[in-house]
Amino acid sequence: MSIYALYPYVIRPFIFALDPEDAHSLTIKMGKILGKAPFKPLFSQKVTGQPLEIMGLKFAHPLGLAAGMDKNGDCIDYLGSLGFSHLELGTVTPKAQEGNPRPRMFRVLEAQGLINRMGFNNKGVDYLCVNLARRTFKGIIGVSIGKNETTPLEDAANDYLFCLRKVYNLCDYVAVNISCPNTKGLTALQEAEPLIALLKTLKDEQKKLASENARYVPLVVKISPDLTPVQIEAICDACVKLGIDGMSCTNTTVSREVIHGMSHASEWGGLSGKPLEALSTQVLEQVSAHLQGKIPLIGIGGISDPLSARSKLQKGASLLQIYSSFVYQGPYVIKKIVENL
Ligand SMILES: Cc1cc2nc3c(=O)[nH]c(=O)nc-3n(C[C@H](O)[C@H](O)[C@H](O)COP(=O)(O)O)c2cc1C
């Protein structure tokens, strides 16, 4: 039995007694230590699943870690040793930035949800690149890229380009984050005109980098669950037209309908976890119906057990990612999901 089966009884009470962001920082610090000898073999977890090939990349199974947990790549080897087939690191920006003032992360305990308004706090893309180069994890690495808070929206493409060039040779795919609700104006990049301009710039650069480096690194676009059906169709059409390699459905939601009256429901930011499941799956379904298999999909949002994972696969996802259920259930959730898919 995995030692992590005891997480809800032994580790979580301790972690949940801490402020959510302190708990997160402690986890990252511990991860840095546990990812190295002599601890790594003691704290790793063997997870066996069905291998698959998506976007030209070979995944050991469908389940990965969603962006935002290890923004700076501080504990790639530890997180990788827990059995994820892939880790999405970041979101990183060209320059380091503090993000929004604390408190900015909240637990909605009644619903196994989280609300965050971190605002792309990260140490900058160069710091992440050092960690990427040092990693020993052999699984797939995606890097989520974004823009600095101080960069005007009209110059956003330069920030994405800067990050794309930096990480291109150090990862397996790049995720374009235009759906974080906590960076002012960012989600406006999902509107057809700015989206097409941004994605075209990135695709042109990807082509150039692919020929310079003799290596094609796929581009994935991550979308919000708070889009109208018309917006969803326009984004899908733009992604198909421009040859985007994958789409992630979804980021966190600003809606509070599902957690009305629960703890911290009035905090602003993005809601994730179980209360996001239905909405994100609905968006995944719409995207899948519109794309008709033209672009592979990553299902994210409220996956917490084999049933919710299977539902995303049935609704059109090829890959899956989790964040909140990893916080609530610990590393054992990876094994529980993958080995029961
Ligand atoms: C604290 C926190 C920080 C996050 N930061 C990012 C981020 O930097 N970039 C990103 O694309 N998504 C970020 N996300 C969103 C997750 O990657 C994921 O899309 C979302 O949490 C839904 O998955 P879940 O229900 O399994 O948590 C963050 C989520 C949380 C809870």
Per-residue pLDDT of the chain (341 residues; tens, 9 = 90+): 678 989 999 999 999 999 999 999 999 999 999 999 999 999 999 999 999 999 999 999 999 999 999 999 999 999 999 999 999 999 999 999 999 999 999 999 999 999 999 999 999 999 999 999 999 999 999 999 999 999 999 999 999 999 999 999 999 999 999 999 988 888 888 888 999 999 999 999 999 999 999 999 999 999 999 999 999 999 999 999 999 999 999 999 999 999 999 999 999 999 999 999 999 999 999 999 999 999 999 999 999 999 999 999 999 999 999 999 999 999 999 999 999 99
Q: Evaluate: CB of 144 within 6 angstroms of ligand 1.
A: yes
252 in contact with ligand 1, CB cutoff 6 A:
yes
120 CA from centroid of ligand 1 (Å)? 11
What is the domain class of 3-338 according to CATH? alpha beta
pLDDT for 188? 87
Measured by CA distance, the residue closest to atom 14 of ligand 1 is 68
CA of 213 relative to ligand 1 center, distance in Å: 31
CA of 116 to the centre of ligand 1 (A): 8
The ligand 1 atom at the shortest distance from the C-alpha of residue 252 is 20
Which atom of ligand 1 is nearest to 251's Cα?
19
Ligand 1 centroid, distance to 6 Cα (angstroms): 25
Q: How far is the CA of 211 from the centre of ligand 1 (A)?
A: 32
Nearest CA to ligand 1 atom 3: 68
Residue 113, both tokens: 């949800």
Residue 260's pLDDT is what?
97
- The number of the ligand 1 atom at minimal distance from the alpha carbon of 300 is 23
Confirm or reject: Cβ of 322 under 6 Å from ligand 1: yes
Instruction: Quote the pLDDT of residue 184.
Output: 83
pLDDT of amino acid 190: 83
- Centre of ligand 1 to C-alpha 157, Å, is 22
CB atoms < 10 A from the CB of 134, how many? 10
Q: How far apart are CA 243 and CA 115, in angstroms?
A: 33
218 lines ligand 1 (CB under 6 A): no
Does residue 216 contact residue 203 with C-beta atoms inside 8 Å? no
Q: Which two tokens stand for residue 156?
A: 């956003």
Integer distance in angstroms from the first to the last C-alpha of the chain?
A: 19
Mutate to test the pocket of ligand 1, among 255, 268, 272 (most ligand atoms within 8 A of CB): 272
Ligand 1 within 6 A of CB of 67: yes
Report the pLDDT value the prediction gives residue 1, as an integer from 0 to 100: 65
Which residue type is seen at 316? G
Ligand 1 within 6 A of CB of 80: no
Residue 166: both structure tokens together: 């930096």
pLDDT value of position 91: 98
Could you tell me the distance, in angstroms and rounded to a whole number, from the CA of residue 176 to the centre of ligand 1? 13
- Rounded Cα–Cα distance for residues 292 and 233 (Å): 12
Q: Is the CB of 273 under 6 A from ligand 1?
A: yes
Instruction: Output the CA–CA distances (angstroms, integers) from residue 181 to 43, 143, 161, 260, in the order listed.
Output: 34, 19, 21, 19
CB 127 within 8 A of CB 274: no
Query: What's the 244 CA to ligand 1 centre distance in angstroms?
Result: 21
269 lines ligand 1 (CB under 6 A): no
Check whether the bond before 151 is cis (ω within 30° of 0).
no
At residue 105, φ and ψ (nearest 5 deg) are: -140, 130
Q: Is the CB of 276 under 6 A from ligand 1?
A: yes
pLDDT of the residue at 3: 86
